C-alpha cells in the first residue's frame, strides 16, 4: 500500500497518484510545443527598464487610452517615444 499524503478536491494523494502526475507532466501535452519562459525579446539585446512619473491627468489619459485601444500602457508609451524620436 502506498503512503497517503493528504487529499486534494476529495481525492487521496498517494505515492501512486504522485507518480502518475509526474509521468503525465514529463510526457507533456501531445501536439503542444512549449514556449520559452520570460518576456518576448525587444530588439537586438536585453531591454532596459525606465521608470516614468506621470501627473494624475496624464495617468488618467493613459489609462483611458489603454481601455479604448485594448493596448497596454508600456506599448502606448513606447509608440509615443518612437514617434517623437523619429520626428526629431
DSSP codes, 67-87: HHHT--HHHHHHHHHHHHHHH
Kindly compute the dihedral angle of the four CA atoms of residues 13, 17, 18, 19, in this order, to the nearest 10 degrees.
Answer: 160
Measured distance CA(7)–CA(76) in Å, rounded: 47
pLDDT tens sequence for the chain (88 residues): 567 678 888 888 888 888 988 888 888 877 777 777 777 778 888 888 999 999 999 999 999 999 999 999 999 999 999 999 999 8
For residue 76, being part of any structural domain is answered with yes
For residue 33, being part of any structural domain is answered with no
Domain boundaries, position 76: 54-88
For residue 17, being part of any structural domain is answered with yes
- pLDDT for 61 equals 97
- pLDDT for 1 equals 56
Grid cell listed for 34: 512549449
Measured distance CA(78)–CA(1) in Å, rounded: 60
For residue 36, being part of any structural domain is answered with no
Q: Indicate the pTM of the whole model.
A: 0.54
Amino acid at each position: 500500500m502506498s503512503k497517503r499524503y493528504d487529499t486534494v478536491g476529495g481525492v487521496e494523494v498517494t505515492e501512486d497518484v504522485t507518480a502518475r502526475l509526474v509521468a503525465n507532466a514529463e510526457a507533456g501535452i501531445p501536439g503542444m510545443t512549449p514556449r520559452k519562459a520570460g518576456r518576448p525579446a525587444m530588439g537586438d539585446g536585453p531591454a532596459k527598464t525606465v521608470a516614468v512619473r506621470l501627473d494624475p491627468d496624464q495617468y488618467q489619459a493613459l489609462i483611458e487610452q489603454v481601455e479604448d485601444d485594448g493596448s497596454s500602457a508600456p506599448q502606448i508609451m513606447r509608440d509615443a517615444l518612437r514617434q517623437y524620436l523619429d520626428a526629431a
